[in-house]
Amino acid sequence: MSGIQSATATMAAGAVKVHDHWSSRMGFIIAAVGSAVGLGNIWKFPYMVGQSGGAAFVLVYLACIALIGLPIIVAEWLIGRRGQKNPVNTMVELAKKNGRSRNWALLGIGGTLAAFLILSFYSVIGGWAVSYLVEAGTGSFSGIDKDAAGALFNGLLADPAKLLLWHSVFMALTIGVVAMGVSGGLERATKILMPALGVILLIMVGYGMTTGSFGAAASYLFTPDWSKLNSGVVLAALGHAFFTLSLGMGVMIAYGSYLGQDINLLRAARTVAISDTVIALGAGMAIFPIVFANGLDPAAGPGLVFVTLPLAFGKISGGLILGVMFFALLIFAALTSSISLLEPAVELLEERTPLGRVGATVVAGLATWALGIAALLSFNEWSNVLIFGQNIFDLLDKLTSKFMLPLCGLGAIVFVAWCLDRESVRKDLGLGTTGFRLWNLLARYVAPIGVLAVFWNSL
């Protein structure tokens, strides 16, 4: 049994014993928020906004979260809670029970593969955060200007040995946590450290207000220039909504399998989506004032956060300690996501091979680590190795976010909305007639048609 599962199951068992349903609900919501909030919010969201031209992307992203992401989180949890097993077996069983094809298992398989691919490059970025924790702690940011900040980041990218070292450290941490099954402790820590991350972001937003570019940043993020919108931007917004909410990977199905009936899925989904969105927008409001105040390029790409924040930490009083705290918390947030990404592959190996928990974790972890090496080499030695015109890092990112996640998420919502008995779904969601009508509208039509329309347009 997995760390996450054992922790959650233990908590649920404890809850049954003392009839304390609140603590198991909290444990679940914290684990789900921990999975959702991560590098996607602080590293990926701002640079995607920058590459996609600002507010038009942000508004489409928010619509995708509310109209497509929310119903799909609920659908994935509902599937998990009914199946009470790993995503592949859950899909096989539910499909059989409802007279549907066994091929629905593909959803679980595709999700597990997507999680594996994502973790390989996620760990490389987690490694950047570890490297920047060391830089922050050794005072590298003090008095730094934009050229020096750019040089520091480019120096890291150009150095495969350094990237490998930090990627390995991050992956070892992930493997350690999953193998030892200490996520019960992580859940408790998440309760304190996530809000702490929010507070530091708020301080950075406060710093942004002193730069004189806060208004420009706010209008960049929230006043849309619709001429920037095209199908590529919409697909990127949709893909990122899936990535940031940890959807389409079987992760939320697995989390749902440890839920009791007492949990209101809609309310829990709202909590996860709001926390996730607040952190992402907070990151945007922290970063873009610094971008504009220093004449940096918002479309600079994946290095955006790593080039901008050191500028602020280098100027602000107490910046050294703030920088250390920020990168430590970012690593923590990344770890609560990366453990959930390793989980599906570990579970699969545990159930389908003679490997035990530790063996399965080490094998899945090493395979991910090896693929991560290809991803990190695409920033230097292999920068001209292109597949379908993309380097390996970009290929892994785009293949998962733009195709695999939306398709698996689409499968989950179609399965719940069209293949399960409607009345039982209404009961599972605890909705009255009007609420269920609204759910049906979103789940049967808006979300699936939305995903399909975006695909159609992009193709």
Residues in contact with ligand PFF by CB under 6 A are 35-36, 38-41, 115, 118, 243-244, 246, 249, 251, 337, 340-341
Residue 226 in tokens: 């619709």
What is the DSSP secondary-structure string of 166-192?
HHHHHHHHHHHHHHHT-HHHHHHHHHH
Give the nearest distance from C-beta 271 to ligand PFF in angstroms: 15
Q: Which residues, in sequence order, are CB contacts of 433 under 8 Å at separation 6+?
A: none
Q: Which residues, in sequence order, are CB contacts of 229 under 8 Å at separation 6+?
A: 53, 56, 57, 60
- Give phi and psi for 411, each to the nearest 5: -60, -45
Residue with the shortest CB distance to ligand PFF: 40
Residue closer to ligand PFF by CB (options 65, 163) is 65
Residue closer to ligand PFF by CB (options 141, 242) is 242
Give the nearest distance from C-beta 38 to ligand PFF in angstroms: 3
Q: Among 422, 459, 417, which Cα is nearest to 74's? A: 417
Instruction: Please list the residues that pair with 390 across neighbouring strands.
Output: 387
- Give phi and psi for 317, each to the nearest 5: -75, 140
Give the nearest distance from C-beta 283 to ligand PFF in angstroms: 11
Give the nearest distance from C-beta 386 to ligand PFF in angstroms: 25
Give the nearest distance from C-beta 418 to ligand PFF in angstroms: 24
Residue closer to ligand PFF by CB (options 73, 307) is 73
Residue closer to ligand PFF by CB (options 39, 447) is 39
Give the nearest distance from C-beta 81 to ligand PFF in angstroms: 17
Residue 6 in tokens: 């054992």
- Scanning the structure block, which residue is given the tokens 């995903």? 451
Q: How is the chain split among helix, strand and coil, in percent rounded to 5?
A: 80, 0, 20
Residue closer to ligand PFF by CB (options 243, 436) is 243
Contact 100, 348 (CB under 8 A): no
316-331 core/surface letters (b: 16 or more CB in 10 A; e: else):
beebbebbbbbbbbbb
Residue closer to ligand PFF by CB (options 38, 150) is 38
Residue closer to ligand PFF by CB (options 213, 336) is 336
